[in-house]
Structure 1
Amino acid sequence: AIEYAQAIENCGVKVVYVDTAKELEKAITKNTAMYYFVNFLNYEGEIQWQEVLDICQKNGVPTMIDCAADVPPVENLFRFQQMGFDMVCFSGGKGLRGPQSAGILMGKKKYIDAARLNAPPFGDTIGRGMKVNKEEIVGMLAAVEDFLSRDHEADWNLWEGQINLVQNAVKDFEGMTTEIKVPELANVVPTLHLNWDTSKIKISGDQLKEAMRNGHPSIEIAGGGKNTVSITTWMLKPGQERVVASRLNEILTQKIT
């Protein structure tokens, strides 16, 4: 199951889950409306991009891929249309840094035209409950134009410098292990993973998240659990990474035995 299934079912369709190419072939009937693919799960599934496209195109089934968090890199904005997906959607926030309640749908004209029938000025459709106003639409357009014109290499260098600064603030604590990784899909940015020995640094991952959240300023970090957290800097303004590094260092210093 996927957490977005309810939103799809609100349109009046039945969601049929498939795990393999064989299951997909068997599940397609004259009533199949669309294949919905969650991009960040591609490498976790038994059936991946090209096999999905081959089967669906052979059977005349439209394909939609949810790439919510898959820019950057900027090339991904067009990659999946070129791959052959009929519809591609991205979140308006996240890497595009547009209105959080908006987004973009790209793809073949006939499907975009069909989707527009559920948007303003049509008020008696399923889209009414997810209404995006004209200010957000213009804001989304401005965000895409800004994103395409950015110096993406400079952005990447900035994020690397920021994440290195945060890492340097905590890596020398006894019992601390740090690693910077870049995910293959979804939020493809330098990500700092912290893992520590709780016998030497007496705080859990959940407690560290709570301490960061309740401090001044309030800072949100990912992960949690027994002894891990994850941190990204790509949503920070230049200079804010110093505040993050300082708060982490301060909290962890207090917890060293």
Structure 2
Amino acid sequence: MTSDSSIYDELGVPRVVNAAGTKTRIGGSLIRPEAVEAMSRAAEGFARISDLQARASELITDCTGAEAGYVASGAAAAMTLGTAACIAGDDVAAMDRLPDTEGRPDEVIMPRTHRTGYDHAIRAAGATIVDVGTNDPHLGTGSAAIEPWEIETAITEDTAAIAYLQKEYTTPPLSKVVEIAHRHDIPVLVDAAAEVPPKANLTRFIDAGVDLVVFSGGKAIRGPQSTGILAGRADLIESAAFQHLDMHAAAEVWDPPRDLLDPSAYDGVPRQGIGRTLKVGKEELVGLIRALELFLEEDQDELVAEWTDRTALLDAELTDVDTLSCETVGGGKVDVAPALHVTVDEDAAGMTAAELVLALRRENPRVFVGADALADATFVLNPMCLTDDEAQYVAERIRENLS
């Protein structure tokens, strides 16, 4: 691994060798150099943010098939804006009151097994989450975690939306949820923050009929980490934009881009909305636009082949360590990036998988590996954010700590 000095060395902050994947806590992914260049050029002058958002909307529309799109300061911010749009609609007074939702439907239905810490983003808009279903599958009863009828019977006059966390294992099927929601004229908001690649997922959710879908701009798309994409129905995107953009303007000179906002549909200039704290700078908007263009042009098969080779390299470096067993998982049609799952024989190693992972994180540079399966004495090596030299370094540090 290169020993060249970095900006983090200059700041006295330990670098991270990232074998964990596109995790926000260690900076997401590496921004594409072309996007960094575009951001630098954007910093040299000015543009109206609403014009940049309109341009981003065009690109998001083209690549998702949605009626419109928008950029927020991360996927969680996009979830907040999407929820605010579902609650306030085109009611300027309701926008002004959020997160006070008095007089507006403000309940968001979620399957219980879809609930995560990220639902703070939904509640931040003023919504009350109504969770349905059970955790019976974890008890081994054989019953379903959530039945479609449970969602339908939870819908009332106070329902603003149904939220759905997209993972390949989540139930019920999204198509069934959309069917139920639309039968009651309720929008569906899908959190698909980490669901690209594959590129096909950009269109998958709109094709399935969802009203709003959220993607991260700073993971595999490799735009600025502080960007998220909201795509969906034009009226909901318009509401999100009204609640996000700087609206300190005299009515006489208020002239937003008509392909993003229709001022004639509103009684006046909205106040600063709940989304004002989620603003995106001109540099981030330009960087996301350029990164998304490049992501669409990228040869995904070539990238997967590179990740597959790197995973094989990691496997080869660790295969003769007696206290470890390795298995390559993923690399298929849905989970396109393969990863190496490494299980520690904790008795033989004299240390637990958690102790090993913590020791790696305390080094300088820090080594981060996936830690979602420590209860099974397993950690994960993800090749997406590594070079080959870094992969060898990670394997070296694992061996050294075990010895």
Tell me the TM-score normalised to structure 2 length.
0.59
Which residue number corresponds to residue 38 of structure 1? 165
Partner of 2:169: helix, strand, or coil?
helix
Once the two structures are superposed, what CA deviation does each residue of 1:33-68 show, in whole Å capped at 9, x if it has no partner? 11111102x5243x2211101101111111111101
Pick closer, same or farther for the CA change 1:228–1:106 going to 2, 3 Å: same
Q: What are the equivalent positions in structure 2 for 1:100-111 lying under 5 Å apart?
A: 100-111=225-236
* Secondary structure of 2:128 counterpart: coil
Shift in CA distance, 122/231, structure 1 to aligned 2, threshold 3 Å: farther
CA drift of 1:98 comes to 1.3
Counterpart in the other structure of 1:227: 377
AA at the equivalent of 1:244: V
Q: Which has the higher contact order (CA 8 A, sep 6+)?
A: 2
CA pair 149-238 structure 1, distance change in 2 beyond 3 A: farther
1:180 to 328, 335, 339: 328
How far the C-alpha of 1:187 sits from its partner, in A, is: 6.5
Q: For this pair of structures, how many residues does the alignment match?
A: 251
Task: Give CA deviations for 1:150-192 in whole Å, capped at 9, x if unaligned.
Answer: 1111110110111111111112222421111118899652111
Deviations along 1:11-42, whole A, 9 cap, x unmatched?
122111123211211111222111111102x5
**Counterpart of 2:125 in structure 1: which amino acid?**
C
| Structure 1: runs of 5+ lacking an equivalent | none
2:190–2:212 CA contact under 8 A, matched in 1 = yes
Q: Distance in 2 between matches of 1:201 and 1:43?
A: 33
Q: What is aligned with 1:141?
A: 289
| Mapped contact 2:198–2:334 kept (Cα < 8 A) | no
Distance 1:212 1:225 in 2: 18
In the TM superposition, residue 107 of structure 1 has moved relative to its aligned partner by 1.5
Is the CA contact 1:70–1:185 (under 8 Å) kept in the aligned structure 2? no
Residue 183 of structure 2: SS of its match in structure 1? helix
Check if 1:81 corresponds to 2:229. no
Larger radius of gyration: 2
Q: Which amino acid aligns with 2:151?
A: L
What is the aligned partner in structure 2 of residue 24 from structure 1? 151
Give the TM-score, by structure 1 length.
0.90
The correspondence for 1:63, drawn from 164, 185, 188, is 188
1:202 matched to 2:350? The reply is: yes
RMSD across aligned positions (CA): 2.1
Q: 2:126 aligns with which of 6, 12, 18?
A: 12
One-letter code aligned to 2:227: A
Which of residues 270, 273, 298 in structure 2 aligns to 1:150?
Answer: 298
**Secondary structure at 1:230's aligned position in 2?**
strand
| Among 219, 224, 244, the residue aligned to 2:394 | 244
Partner SS state of residue 215, structure 1? coil
> Is the contact between residue 169 and residue 249 of structure 1 (CA under 8 Å) also seen in structure 2?
no
**Counterpart contact for 1:89–1:104, Cα < 8 Å:** yes
In structure 1, C-alpha distance between the alignment counterparts of 2:351 and 2:229, rounded to whole Å: 41
Change (3 A) 1:216 1:186: farther
Give every structure 1 segment of 4 or more consecutive aligned residues whose post-TM-superposition deviation is greater than 6 Å.
Answer: 183-187
User: Is 2:174 the counterpart of 1:49?
Assistant: yes
Q: Distance in 2 between matches of 1:238 and 1:153?
A: 18
Output one character per residue of 1:74-107: Cα deviation in whole Å (capped at 9) or x when no partner: 1111111111111111012111111111111111
Local SS of the residue matching 2:380: strand
Deviation, 1:202, is 2.0
Output the CA distance in 2 between the equivalents of 1:237 and 1:157: 14
C-alpha separation in 1, matches of 2:376 and 2:159: 44
- Structure 2 partner of 1:94: 219
Alpha-carbon distance in structure 1 between the residues aligned to 2:152 and 2:377: 44
Which residue identity lines up with residue 326 of structure 2 in the other structure? T
Shift of 1:145: 0.8
Contact persistence 1:204–1:225 (CA under 8 A): no
> Contact conserved, 2:357 with 2:369, CA < 8 A, in 1?
yes
For structure 2, the 5+ residue unaligned runs are 1-114, 134-146, 249-271
The sequence identity of aligned pairs, in percent, is 32
- SS of 1:65's equivalent in the other structure is strand
Partner of 2:73: none
The answer to whether the 8 Å contact 2:317/2:392 transfers is: no
